[in-house]
Amino acid sequence: MKLAILFGGASFEHEISIVSAITVKEKLSRFELSFIFCDQDHKFYLIDGAKMKAVTFSRGEHRKMAQIFLTNGGFEQRGLFGSKKHEMPVLNLIHGGDGEDGSIASLFDFFNISFIGPRKEASMLSFDKHYTKWLANALGVKTLPYEIVHKSKKPTITTPYPFIVKPARLGSSIGVSIVRNADELDYALDVAFEFDEVLLIEPFISGVKEYNLAGFSARGEITYSIVEEPQKAEFLDFEKKYLDFSRSDKVTEASVGEALVQQLQNAFKTIYLPLFEGALIRCDFFEIEGEVYLNEVNPIPGSMANYLFEDFSGSIQKLLGALPDKKAIRVNYDYIHSISQAKGK
């Protein structure tokens, strides 16, 4: 089965996307894979599978490879003696901006390209953590209380110390800080504002239980991964999450009761359906006094959360066989023809 992996993008998470793509390449060896790299200038390159190494991109060697262009139904490779069209489903593995903000989803819809990944609406509501809170609360899924801080306005924070400062539209714990007292606040805000103009403030709960659950829907059935309890110090910082993006060994299932697993799966299903159909996502949860709280939605999880699935390759194949179809609109100009006939033209 053919599948193209799209990675890179103009994002603070560009390099992480490269790491994810290299990891997923090894996990999907049963597929006939192609690799499409989107550079920071939004140029697409068809990458030789044998050259799928981090240094290929850090040294700019990808520029020696074939540049390809979006066209209806796929990508086109142009040459002096004609062009070659590459038509196959695409796994969107661009983390952060471009991949998770709806840009790629919009392009693929526009060019009628079949893809695994969040659609436009899902991207918009999961890329911005503020909007994710709105979504969860509207669906009855609990979240921690929060405040929003804008770069253009003087902050008036009422959340008691300690609290977490995080960019609203960035993942991988980039720009995230724990603020324990007023002396640490200005520095934390300055760091976060380097990456985003909108920040999220949430209470920091020391030692809170965290659980991750991934899954997808195919033909009316949700396939859930195992539940993972991530190992962390105080919170999952960038270094820890960066290493997560290269994980390929299956992790140990969390030692939790069936009642909690059911709570996690119910919350996941509530968030997933129907908005995220066509995507494999990971939801990160807190458990506080027996109640489940949504922390974040990862619409394109690191390395596609391959380490949470017993048969990751089979899961991707299953999802590929059930991607949502975009309804085709055919224009026949009946309205214009009727007007022209009425006017005798």
Which pLDDT does position 276 carry in this prediction?
Answer: 98
CA distance linking residue 276 with residue 300, whole number of Å: 11
Query: Helices marked H in the chain — which ranges?
Result: 14-27, 54-58, 103-110, 120-127, 129-139, 185-193, 238-244, 258-272, 312-320, 334-342
CA distance linking residue 223 with residue 311, whole number of Å: 11
To the question of pTM greater than 0.85 for the whole model, the response is yes
**Angle, CA 18 vertex, CA 15 and CA 22 arms, to 5°:** 145
Which pLDDT does position 170 carry in this prediction?
Answer: 81
Q: Where in the chain is the domain with CATH 3.30.1490.20?
A: 147-203
Which pLDDT does position 235 carry in this prediction?
Answer: 55
Question: How confident is the model over 133-158, as pLDDT tens digits?
Answer: 999 999 999 999 999 999 989 888 99
Task: Assess contact for 5 and 34: CB atoms under 8 A.
Answer: yes
Which pLDDT does position 226 carry in this prediction?
Answer: 97
Q: Where in the chain is the domain with CATH 3.40.50.20?
A: 2-117
Tell me which residue has tokens 């934390």. Answer: 188
- CB-CB neighbours of 265 under 10 Å: 17
Which pair of tokens denotes residue 191?
């760091």
The CATH code that applies to domain 2-117 is 3.40.50.20
CA distance linking residue 146 with residue 290, whole number of Å: 21
Which pLDDT does position 131 carry in this prediction?
Answer: 95
Does the bond joining 203 to the residue before it have cis omega, within 30 degrees of 0? no
Residues sharing a CB contact under 8 Å with residue 292, sequence separation 6 or more, in sequence order = 141, 142, 260, 263, 264, 267, 285, 286
CA distance linking residue 318 with residue 216, whole number of Å: 10
Which pLDDT does position 4 carry in this prediction?
Answer: 98
User: Is domain 147-203 classified as CATH 3.30.1490.20?
Assistant: yes
Question: How confident is the model over 172-228, as pLDDT tens digits?
Answer: 678 899 999 999 999 999 999 999 999 999 999 998 999 999 999 999 999 999 999
CA distance linking residue 188 with residue 146, whole number of Å: 16
Which pLDDT does position 247 carry in this prediction?
Answer: 66
**Angle, CA 193 vertex, CA 190 and CA 199 arms, to 5°:** 115
Q: Where in the chain is the domain with CATH 3.30.470.20?
A: 123-142+206-320
Answer CATH for 123-142+206-320 from 2.60.40.10, 3.30.1180.20, 3.30.310.10, 3.30.470.20: 3.30.470.20
Residues sharing a CB contact under 8 Å with residue 224, sequence separation 6 or more, in sequence order = 213, 214, 215, 265, 268
Which pLDDT does position 243 carry in this prediction?
Answer: 54
CA distance linking residue 77 with residue 6, whole number of Å: 15
Instruction: Report mean pLDDT in 10-residue bins for the chain, 345 residues.
Output: 96 93 95 97 97 96 97 94 94 95 96 97 94 97 96 92 92 86 95 93 94 96 96 58 62 95 98 97 97 96 95 97 87 89 72
Which pLDDT does position 327 carry in this prediction?
Answer: 79
